[in-house]
Amino acid sequence: RGGCGGGIVLLNHIGKIVTAAAPAQASSQASPILVSLLSACNCIGRMAAGACSDALSRRRVPRPHLLAAATCLMGAAHAALLGAASPPLLYLGAAAGGAAYGAVWSLLPSIVGDIFPARHFATVYSLFSLAASSSSLLLSTLLATKVYAAHAHVTTPGAAAECHGSLCYRATHLAILGACAAGTAGALALGVRNRAIYRGKLLDRAAV
């Protein structure tokens, strides 16, 4: 859930994350750039992960290990955002988070196809939609929104409450870091458990 949920939090809250971390003038200038950067890196992550996983699988590197790397990158993105107090760290976090989120969704179909029989592909892959929706509900809709609201206050009469400072998303980033650590460990364990598949005939045929 960490790699997927962390990306959904970024997609849904990037504007408020910028407003919370940067001064008003800087945030207004940075928000459009960060949205574009996040989208562009999402696309780059999808393409790069697919190409890299194909190349490394021919060397019998389990694809789940690349999923672990992508999840770890998502954790690094939220670690950067956790300490972000200026646009450069925001750019770094958005770029890393976008690339990691794209990589996760590029790797999942390949991993399912490698490990499970083709007749079960649709059933198994559809379960990841459940993981995505549950992580969106827990991390983005519930946790991030409530943490932000708990520290928000009205600065101008009649205006919506806003939050400024590191506390606005600190608990959210920390929760995602924990989820990414668990997800990285799980992906590594999946790769170790199924390493025989990546050393066997399946990838020998793919390398031909």
Length of the chain: 208
Among 105, 111, 44, smallest CA distance to 71 is for 105
- The pTM assigned to this predicted structure is 0.87
Higher-confidence residue of 159 and 115: namely 115
The pLDDT tens digits of the residues spanning 9-20 come to: 999 998 888 888
Amino acid occupying residue 163: C
DSSP string, 64-106: HHHHHHHHHHHHHHHHHHHT--SHHHHHHHHHHHHHHHHHHHH
